[in-house]
Structure 1
Amino acid sequence: MAPRISRDTSGRGRGGGRGGIQQQASDRGGSSANGASLRLPTQGSHIATVGVKRPSFGTVGKVVKVKVNAFEATVPQTIIRHYDVIFYLLHEFSLSQSVLISPSEQTLPQRMNMEIIHAMQTIVAPDVFTPLAVYDGRKNMFAARELPLGPTASAEFIVSLNGTSANPATGRPPKSYKVKIKKVNTLNPEVLQRFVQGDQSHDNDVLTAITALNVVIRMEPTMRHTFNIRSFFTDAGKLHLGCGLELWQGLFQSIRPGMGRMLINVDLSTGLMYRAGPLWELCLDVLKESIHERNIAKLQPKTSGQQFGLSDTDRRLLSKFVNGVKVTIQGQGDTPRLIKKLSEKGAKDSMFQLREGGTISVAEYIRKSRNVPLRYPNNFCVEIGQGLIPIELCTVTPGQIARKQIPSEKTQDVVKFSTKKPINRLSAIVDGVQNILSYGQSEYVRQFGVNVNPEALVIDARIISPPTMKYGRGGNQSTLQPRNGSWNMIGKQFISPMTIKQSFVVVLEQRNRFTENHARNMLKGLFNACKLAGMKVNNEEPGVHYVNGQARIVDVLKDIGRRTIAELQAKGIKDTINLVIVILPEGGHDDIYSGVKFFGDVSVGVATQCMRALKCLSAKDQYFANVALKINVKLGGVNTVPEASSINDLFDPRNPTIVMGADVIHPAPGAEGRPSYTAVVGSIDSKVAKYAAVSNVQTSRQELISDLDKMCWSLINKYKEHKGDPPVKNARPARIIFFRDGVSEGQFKQVLESELPLIKKACADHNISPKITLIVVGKRHHIRFFPMSQNQGDSSGNCPAGTVVDTVVAHPMEFDFYLQSHGGLLGTSRSAHYSVLHDENKFTADALQSLSFALCHVYARSTRSVSIPAPVYYADIVCSRARNHYDPDSTLFSSESGTSDGSNDQPALEAYKRNFRGIHKSLESSMYFS
C-alpha cells in the first residue's frame, strides 16, 4: 500500500524536500565552508531529476563567507515505521450505552486530531505507545520502534477527549472517536543518506522520510503552541492590530536536504490571530468602536427611531467575520465551541421552543436558568450548534489563526511588526533554536536519533558585477555602473524619450485642499522632470478639471476627454490626447483607481497616471523624476537598457531572444467564487527593455495557466510585428527565456508536463522552433543570507546586491541558485530562488546568473535593481490590474453577487469570463502597466 502523505500546497511544496550530494571541487577549487567536498552530478547517471541537472557551478565574482539560517542535522540510523491514521466518530445514544451507527471517516481540525492522538498514547494505550510516536495532525504517524499492534499490524482504539461523564450543562454524553492505526511502510533512513550523497533519486521513500523528520522536529512545539503547518506561535510580544485581530511572533522550521548533509531551515514568522477575550470586545474592535458602555449598546439591531444599533448590512459583515471563531461559554466549561453566525435579533427578541412546550426568549431563559439577568438583553446572540448564546456570555479563546485578508489600512503595522534588521533577525533565530526549539531536550528528537548543531551554517557566496546601464546620448553621461543595486538619473536622459502631445488633469480631491495653484505647481514639477529626462511636452498648461469623487468616474473622464478634443480642434490643434493625469484624494479610494484604470486601459486606450494629492503637495524633484519614468514607458519609450557587452548571452545577434514572465494571482482568503487571474508579458524589442502583456481569467485557485498557448502566441505575434527603435532585425526568435513565478516546487513536474507543451504549441502555430529555457522564480521560501560582519554588508546590514549562492543549501543535482539582486532597504532582504526546469539553450551557471541579474536592472519604474527579473515583476502587476478589467458598474463584485459557497462554481466563473475585458487595442503593445 502506498503511504499517504499530507501534501503541502502552501507555495513551498518540495521546498525543503530536495536534497544534497557530496560533490567534487568546483572550478574555483576546494570544498564548501563546512568541509563537504563538491562535485557536479554525473551526466547520464541513473539518478532521476525533475529539473535540469546542474551543468556547472558559478565561478564569476568575489567569493565571500555568509551565514545562512540553516542548522546541520544528522540522519537517523534506526528504522522508521510509518503508520496510517483514520478517525471515526462514535455516536452516543445514552449515558449508559454507546452504539456505533454507520461510522464515518472524520476530517477534524488538526488541533483536535493532535489532542485525540495524545490522549490515545498517554491515557488509553500507554503500553502500546512507549516511547511516544509522532503524528502530523492528519494521516501520518511515525514511530522509532515497532508498535505492538498484533499480527495484522493494525489496531483500533476508542478515545474520548472529555472523560466518560456527561456534559453537566447539556446532559449529553461526550463524543468518542474510534482511531484506526495501520502500518503501511518501513523506512530505512539510509535512503536519506544516499540522497544527500547523490546516489538516490527523489522518490516516494525519500519524500516520506523527509516528511517523517519534519513531523519529528515539529511534534513538541505543536503540542504546546498554536501552529500552522510549519510554523508555531507564542503570544510573547503580541501586537493588538485592531479590526478584531492581533499579531503573534512565531518560528518556522523545516527539514531540508543540503549538499552532503541534512539541514533544518529556521526562520521568524508572523501569525494573524483573532483578538482573545470577551466576544463583545472583538465585535466592537471589528466595528472600530472603543470599549465604552454606549458602544456596547450598538451591538443590537437598529430599529426605527433608535440612535444606536447595527444596521442589517453591518450585522451581516460582523456575522461573516465571527463565523468560525471558537469561544468558550460562561458556565459550560472550557471546551471551545464554533460560532456559525450572528443572530438576526437581540437576545430579548430571539425565541426558541422549550422541550416541555411553549416558547421563551433567550434573555428570559438565561435569567431563569442562571438566576442572573443579562446586562445587555438587547444585544445580538451568536449561533453555536443548534442554539443561540448571548454575546456577553462568550469568550474568544486565545491563539486562533485568522485566515483572513489583512485590512489594507493595517498593512504598514504588519510590516513594522514583522520587520527586523538582519543582525537582529539572525540573533532571534539562533536564540529560538537554542532556547525555544531546544532540539537536544526534545524527547521526540532524541528517540529518533537526530542531533542538531545549534550554530548557524557558514557557507561560500559570490558577489557578481551588475550590468553597465546605457542612457541616451543627450545627457552628460550615457553609461553608468550601478552601486549596490541603485543609481540616479542626474545628468542623464532616457534612451528613447517620448512626447506628451496633449493631456488633461482631473482632480478628485476637494478644491480647498488641492487648489488650482497646487495643480499648476504639480504640472510644472512633473513636466520639468520629463524634459530633463529628454521628453518633449507640447502643452505645458493643460486643462485642470475638478470632479466629485462620487461621480461615475469612467463617464466623467470620457466627457472631459471629448470636450478637450473639441477645444483643441477649435484651435486648429491636431495633436491627440495621449496622457490623462488624475489626482486622487486621500484615504481608501480603490474604486476610483479601478475606474481610472478601466477608463484608460480598457475603455478608451490612453495612458493614465494617478498621483496622490497629499504626495504632490510635498513632492520634491525626485518624486516627479520617478513619475516621469512611468510616463515615458507608458507612452512607448525606453528609459534605459543594459550595455550589450556586459551580458553577451542575452544580446547575441545570432540568437534573437524573447524574454517572458508569467504569473497567477488568486482571490484573498474567504473570497469564495472569485476567479484567479493570469498574466504573461514578453519582450518585443531587441534590447529586452520593452514589453507587451496579455492577461486572462481562469478557475479560482488554479495555479497552472490554462490558456498559456494563446497568450504566448499573442506575444510572439507582437514581437514579430514590432517596429521599434531599434527594430528587431530577425523577427523569428531563436530563443525564448521563460520565467515562471508563483509555482511551488511540488508543482514543477506539472509545469513541465502541462505548461511547457503549451509554450511549444504557440511556437509551432507560428511555424517557429526557438530553443526554450524555462525557469521558475520563487520568493516564498525561508532561506536568508547574512553578512559575517557589519562592514561586509550594505548600508542596511544586508548582503550586497549581486550575492549568489549555488552550493550547500542549493539543490545538489538540479540546476538552481539563490540570487539577492536588490539592495536592502528595510528589514532582512530575501533572495530569489531560481530553478531551471528546462534548458535547450544549454546555459552555464555563470551565464544564467548574470543574465538574470541584468534583467533585475531593467525594471522601468525605478532606478534600482529589483528582487526578481523585470518581466516576472511586470507579470505580477498585470495580474493585479486584470481585476480592473470589468465595468466599474458591474454587480459581479458586490457583496451579494458574484460569490458562491465553493471555489469552483462554474456559473460564477463563466460570468467572470464573459464580462472580462481585454486591454484596449491601441495599448496592446505598450507598457500600460508601468
Structure 2
Amino acid sequence: MPPHQQPRGAGAPPQRGRGGRGGRGGARGGSAQPAHQAPPSHISTVGVRRPDYGSSGRPVTINVNSFKAEVPDGSIYHYDGVISTEKNFPLQMNMRIIKALQDHVAPNIFADTRVVFDGRKNLFAPVELKLGGPSREFDVTLSAAPSNPDRPPRIYKVRLAYAAKINTEILHRFIAGQQSQDNTVSTALMALNVVIRMEPSQRFPTKGRSFFTSDGARPIGAGLVLWRGYFQSIRPAMGRMLINVDISTGVMYQSGRLIDVCMSFLGINNPNMLTATMPDRQRLALGRFISGVRVHTRAAAQVAAGAAGDQGTPRVIRKLSTQGANQVTFVLRGGQIKTVAQYFQETSGRPLQFPGLLCVEVGQGALIPLELCAVLPGQLVRKEIPEDKKTQLVEFATMRPKERLESIKKGLQVLAYGQSEYVRKFGLTVDPTLLTTQARVLNAPTLQYGSTGNPRAATVSPRNGSWNMADKRFFRTTEIKAWVFIIFESMNRFGDQVAQTVATDFVKGIRTTGIIVVDPNPIVRRVNGQGDIPRDLQAAGAECFAKKKVAPTLFVVVLPEGGNDIYTIVKHWGDVSRGVATQCLKSRKCTGAKIQFWANVALKINVKLGGINVIPDPSQVGILSDPHNPTVVMGADVMHPGAGTTGRPSFAAVVSSVDSYAAKYVADQCVQASRQELITDLKEMSVYLLGKYISYREHVEKVQPSLRAPKRLIFYRDGVSEGQFQQVLDQELPLIKAACRELKINPTITLVVVGKRHHVRLFPTNERDADRSGNLPAGTVVDRDIGHPTEFDFYLQSHGGLLGTSRPAHYSVLYDENHLTADTMQALSFALCHVYAGSTRSVSIPAPVYYADTVCARAKIHFDPTSRQEWSDSGATDVSENLEAFKNRYLPLHADQRSRMYFSVRVSCFIVSDATDSRS
C-alpha cells in the first residue's frame, strides 16, 4: 500500500496517490461539497490528493454524458467460477455455459436470484448461494448443441467457490472520500460493471464495455460493415456513482455467403478468381483476413436450393487452402482417396457449383468448400483495418454534439437498465436524467511572436482555440542558405510552369513569416518514384553544392497522390541517413496555393531548421517564466502494434523542452518489447534529453551556470490506464529520478498522466455557450462532480471544435513535489496546448505529449525502407531474439537532426474528437 498522505503545505513531502473509484449515486450527505475539503489523514491514495478546486475562468453550465446510479445498502457475494476445459473458450461460450447452469442444471440454487459473470472467472450474486459448502462442482451440457447418436452431449465441468462478501458500505464511503482505494473497492466496482453489462452481452455483439447493434449499419467494402454501438461504464465520482454512456463504432465482418465476403475483400466480382491460380500475395492476405471467422456450413443441395437447412454448430476458420476443392485430396477411413469436391458431391447428391474454388480449413483440419460456408452476422474484426477504409470509419463515427447527445439518450433506452433482471436483482437504480454540472472557460494565454516594429503585431490573443498569423513574424526565425526542389509528380500533372510558380510562391510565402531565404532559386530535379530515390536525392544535393558553393539547408519534395512509400524513403534519407531537413508537399495541395497555405508550411520549416514559432507570454505563465526556477517540460508516449499483429515491437518516445519558454523540443526514442506500456529505457532517454536542456541553456541562451539546470521538471505521460498508475510511480518515476542523480541535478518533479481514450463528453446546456461546431469553447475545464472522490484530476477541453464532438483530455496528477494548485496546473496545461509548432490552433493535449505521439508514429522511418523485412517477423523463435532483431534494424536519428524538431507535422490529424472512438 502507498504511504498515508500528509496535509499539503510548505515543506510537505512529495505526494503520491491515485486509485480506482467507487461510489453511490447521491451519496449519503448529498452531492460533492462546493468547497474543497481534504480527505481524512488515514485515507491513502495512489496519486496526489486534490489540493483544491480551480476558480479561474468564466463559469458555464454543462451536461455530461453520465447518469446517476444508486447503489443500495447490502452485500455482494463474490465467487470464483472455473470452467474446466483443455483450452480457453471465447467469452460468449463461457457465458452460455453459466446461463445453462442457472436455467437448467441447478435452477433450485438460483431460484431467488440471478448471478452475473464476467466471462472469465468472476461471478457475483446479490445473495449467498446455497452450495452446501464453500464450493461445489456441476456438470453442464448445452441444450442448443445438435444431437448426434454416435456422440453423447459434451459435459462441461463448472466449479463455483466462495471468494468474498463485499459490503456496499465501502462504496458509499469511497465516493464520500472516507475510504481508501483497495482490492475490495476495486472488486465491488468490477461487480457493478459486470451487473450492468450482463443483459446486453446476451443480446448484442460485445467488445469490452461496448455493445453493437445493426441499426444503421454501413457496408464499406473489403468485406467490412460498420455498426453503431453503445459504451457503458459505472464509475465513482465526488459523492456519487455515475454510469458513463457513450456512442462507439464497431467494425464487423460482412455476413452472408463466404464467397461474397472473399470477393468483397479482394475487390473482385468473379468467384472463379478464388482459385489456386490467384497470386500468393492475395491468397495470403485473404487467409489472414478470414482466419478466426465463424461460419455455418450447408450441404451442396441446400445451397443449390437456396435453403438454410440445419446449419449446426458454427465452425471457426483456421486457414485457407492452397488448392481448389477439385484438387485437394484426403483419405477416407477405408483408405479410399477422394477430392473434397467428390466427397461433397457424393454425400449431397449434387456437384459443387464452383469446384475449382479454394477451401477453408476448420476444426481439426476439416476442409469445407467456400460455397458451402456462410459468415455469421455480428462478428467484430479484431485486426487492423485497411488504411483506405479508415476515412470511412472516421466519417461514420463522427457525430455533432446534438446528434451524439440524442444517440446517447437512445442508447439509454437500448441498454434498458430498469428492464434488466440482473440490475433489478442487485437493487441498482439509474436516474435517466443527464448529469448537469458547472464548468469554467479559462482565458487563453496571450501568445508572443517576433518583433516587426509594431508592438501590437508581436502578440495575439486566441479566440476559441485559433488565431491568425497575419502580419506576424516567428519568435525566432531561421535562414535557408540554399534549397533543393524535388518533384515526383508526373509532368502532365505538375508541369514546369506550375513548378516555377510553386517555387516562387513558396519563397514569397515563407518570407512573410520572417524566415530568411538567401537564394530564392532552388536546384530543381524531377525524380522517378520507382527509381533509386536516395541516390537521386544525394545527386541533387551534390549539384546544389557544386553550383551554389553551399550545402542545401532544405529539400522541398512534391509527392504524387498515394505517395506514402516515397514519403517514407524521403524521411528516412533526410532524418536518418543525411541529417537534412525535408518538407513534403502533395501536388494537388500546393498547386495554386494561397499565401496562407505557405505560411502554414513555414510553421513546420522554421522549427525543423532550429527556430521557434511562438511562445506563451511570459507574464501569464509564471511557472515557465520564473528566471530563478527554470522549468523543463517533458512528454512521453508508447505506441503498440496494431490489433491482430504479432511479432512486432512497441516504440517509446520522450521529448523535452530545451528553452526558457517550453516552446522548443528535442526527442529521443527506442524499441521495446511488444505491447509493453512502461518505458524500459526511460533513464537513459531522460539523461540524454536533460543534458540537451542544460547544453541549450549554456550555449544558446547563455544563462549563468547556477541557472542552467532545471529547478522544476513537469513530466506529462500519455497512454497509461488507471490500472497502471501505480506501476508508473513504482517503475518509471524512479528512472526519472535516477537520471537526475546521474546528471547531479535535483529538480522538483510533477508527474501528470494525460488520458485521451475515455468516453466522457461535455455538452453545452445553452446554445449561446457553444462554438460554431456546437461544442463547448476551447478552455472548458471541469474538476467538480465527475472527478475522482479524493485525488487531483480534471477534464480540460483545450481545442476548438472542428468536426464531430470534441473529446476533453483527462489529467491525473500522480506525483507533485512542486505543490501546484488546481488553477496553476490547469493554466499550465492549457498554455502548453497553444505552443504546438505546426498549427495556429490550440491542440487537444499539451504539445510535448503530441510530439511524443508523433515521434512514436514516425518509428517506421528508422528502418531501411528499401528492405522489405523491417515489418515482417524476423523468423526468430524466441521473443527476446525477435526484439533484438528489430533493435538491430532500428537506425538512430542522424546527429545533425537530434537538436531539431524534425518531427513537426500537420496538426489536423491530431484533433481529438469522437472520430477515434473505434479504438476504445
TM band (smaller chain): over 0.9
Partner in structure 1 of residue 298 of structure 2: 330
Displacement of 1:107: 1.6
Partner in structure 1 of residue 124 of structure 2: 142
Partner in structure 2 of residue 577 of structure 1: 552
1:181 aligned onto 2:160? yes
Mapped partners of 1:623, 1:451: distance in 2: 54
Displacement of 1:164: 7.6
Displacement of 1:917: 1.4
Do the aligned residues in 2 keep the contact of 1:21 with 1:259 (CA within 8 Å)?
no
Partner in structure 1 of residue 437 of structure 2: 459
Partner in structure 2 of residue 533 of structure 1: 513
1:831-870 CA-to-partner distances (Å, cap 9, x unmatched) read 0001111110111110110011000000000000000000
What pairs up with 1:826-841 in 2 under 5 angstroms?
826-841=803-818
1:498-527 CA-to-partner distances (Å, cap 9, x unmatched) read 111111111111121111221221122221
Mapped partners of 2:743, 2:252: distance in 1: 52
- Normalised to the residue count of structure 2, the TM-score between the two structures is 0.92
**What letter matches 2:474 in structure 1?**
F
Distance 1:432 1:167, change over 3 A: same
Partner in structure 1 of residue 880 of structure 2: 906
Partner in structure 1 of residue 676 of structure 2: 702
Partner in structure 1 of residue 303 of structure 2: none
The counterpart of 2:387, out of the listed 380, 404, 408, is 408
Do the aligned residues in 2 keep the contact of 1:820 with 1:867 (CA within 8 Å)?
yes
Partner in structure 1 of residue 468 of structure 2: 488
Mapped partners of 2:711, 2:31: distance in 1: 43
Mapped partners of 2:197, 2:660: distance in 1: 51
1:120-140 CA-to-partner distances (Å, cap 9, x unmatched) read 111212111222211111111
The counterpart of 2:82, out of the listed 72, 83, 86, is 86
Distance 1:475 1:627, change over 3 A: farther
Distance 1:21 1:727, change over 3 A: farther
Percent identity, aligned pairs only? 51
Mapped partners of 1:596, 1:55: distance in 2: 49
The counterpart of 2:21, out of the listed 10, 14, 18, is 18
Mapped partners of 1:585, 1:716: distance in 2: 40
Question: Matched residue pairs, number?
Answer: 871
1:733-767 CA-to-partner distances (Å, cap 9, x unmatched) read 10110000000110000000000010011111111
Partner in structure 2 of residue 297 of structure 1: 272
Partner in structure 2 of residue 866 of structure 1: 843
Distance 1:20 1:649, change over 3 A: farther
The counterpart of 2:658, out of the listed 684, 687, 711, is 684
**What letter matches 1:580 in structure 2?**
F
Displacement of 1:42: 3.0
Do the aligned residues in 2 keep the contact of 1:802 with 1:820 (CA within 8 Å)?
yes
Do the aligned residues in 2 keep the contact of 1:15 with 1:256 (CA within 8 Å)?
no
Mapped partners of 1:737, 1:482: distance in 2: 24
Partner in structure 2 of residue 624 of structure 1: 598
Displacement of 1:619: 2.4
Displacement of 1:899: 6.2
Displacement of 1:174: 3.5
Mapped partners of 1:195, 1:828: distance in 2: 32
Distance 1:197 1:685, change over 3 A: same
Moved more, 264-273 or 156-165: 156-165
Partner in structure 2 of residue 115 of structure 1: 96
Mapped partners of 1:372, 1:176: distance in 2: 36
Displacement of 1:454: 0.2
Do the aligned residues in 2 keep the contact of 1:475 with 1:492 (CA within 8 Å)?
no
Aligned partner of residue 682 in structure 1, secondary structure: strand
1:150-173 CA-to-partner distances (Å, cap 9, x unmatched) read 0x23221212224686437xx544
Aligned partner of residue 908 in structure 1, secondary structure: helix
Do the aligned residues in 2 keep the contact of 1:40 with 1:813 (CA within 8 Å)?
no
Do the aligned residues in 2 keep the contact of 1:266 with 1:782 (CA within 8 Å)?
yes
Mapped partners of 1:427, 1:624: distance in 2: 41
**Unaligned stretches of 5+ residues in structure 1:** 1-13, 25-30, 90-103, 303-309, 570-574
Aligned partner of residue 438 in structure 2, secondary structure: strand
1:854 aligned onto 2:831? yes
Distance 1:397 1:522, change over 3 A: same
1:104-125 CA-to-partner distances (Å, cap 9, x unmatched) read 4x42100111111111111212
**What letter matches 1:505 in structure 2?**
F
Partner in structure 1 of residue 234 of structure 2: 255
Partner in structure 2 of residue 366 of structure 1: 344
The counterpart of 2:184, out of the listed 205, 208, 211, is 205
Distance 1:330 1:475, change over 3 A: farther
Partner in structure 1 of residue 56 of structure 2: 60
1:80-99 CA-to-partner distances (Å, cap 9, x unmatched) read 1111111123xxxxxxxxxx
Mapped partners of 1:233, 1:475: distance in 2: 60
1:164-205 CA-to-partner distances (Å, cap 9, x unmatched) read 86437xx54433211111111111111101111111111111
1:442 aligned onto 2:438? no
Do the aligned residues in 2 keep the contact of 1:720 with 1:732 (CA within 8 Å)?
yes
The counterpart of 2:288, out of the listed 296, 309, 320, is 320
1:125 aligned onto 2:100? no
Mapped partners of 2:839, 2:833: distance in 1: 11
**What letter matches 1:327 in structure 2?**
V
Distance 1:928 1:329, change over 3 A: same
1:319-365 CA-to-partner distances (Å, cap 9, x unmatched) read 11111111010146242110010001000001000112210000011
Do the aligned residues in 2 keep the contact of 1:119 with 1:161 (CA within 8 Å)?
yes
Do the aligned residues in 2 keep the contact of 1:686 with 1:728 (CA within 8 Å)?
no
Aligned partner of residue 408 in structure 2, secondary structure: helix
The counterpart of 1:237, out of the listed 194, 216, 219, is 216
Mapped partners of 2:154, 2:362: distance in 1: 17
1:398 aligned onto 2:377? yes
What pairs up with 1:439-838 in 2 under 5 angstroms?
439-474=417-452, 476=454, 477-569=457-549, 575-587=550-562, 589-722=563-696, 726-729=701-704, 730-838=707-815
Moved more, 497-506 or 341-350: 497-506
**What letter matches 1:605 in structure 2?**
G
Do the aligned residues in 2 keep the contact of 1:663 with 1:872 (CA within 8 Å)?
yes
Partner in structure 1 of residue 140 of structure 2: 159
Aligned partner of residue 888 in structure 1, secondary structure: coil
Do the aligned residues in 2 keep the contact of 1:297 with 1:376 (CA within 8 Å)?
yes
Do the aligned residues in 1 keep the contact of 2:383 with 2:645 (CA within 8 Å)?
no
Displacement of 1:886: 1.4
1:772-794 CA-to-partner distances (Å, cap 9, x unmatched) read 11000010111110000222111
1:596-617 CA-to-partner distances (Å, cap 9, x unmatched) read 1111111000000011111112
Aligned partner of residue 430 in structure 2, secondary structure: coil
Displacement of 1:594: 1.2
Aligned partner of residue 424 in structure 1, secondary structure: helix
**Unaligned stretches of 5+ residues in structure 2:** 1-16, 300-309, 905-920
Displacement of 1:552: 2.8
Aligned partner of residue 250 in structure 1, secondary structure: strand
Do the aligned residues in 1 keep the contact of 2:67 with 2:433 (CA within 8 Å)?
yes
Partner in structure 2 of residue 423 of structure 1: 402
Mapped partners of 2:122, 2:219: distance in 1: 36
Do the aligned residues in 2 keep the contact of 1:632 with 1:638 (CA within 8 Å)?
yes
Partner in structure 1 of residue 864 of structure 2: 887
The CA RMSD over aligned residues, in Å, is 2.0
The counterpart of 1:50, out of the listed 46, 53, 65, is 46
Moved more, 330-339 or 479-488: 330-339
Distance 1:508 1:674, change over 3 A: same
What pairs up with 1:272-283 in 2 under 5 angstroms?
272-283=251-262
Moved more, 864-873 or 904-913: 904-913
**What letter matches 1:18 in structure 2?**
R
Mapped partners of 1:490, 1:894: distance in 2: 44
**What letter matches 1:137 in structure 2?**
G
Partner in structure 1 of residue 893 of structure 2: 919
**What letter matches 2:345 in structure 1?**
R
- Normalised to the residue count of structure 1, the TM-score between the two structures is 0.91
Distance 1:678 1:450, change over 3 A: same
Mapped partners of 1:160, 1:414: distance in 2: 41
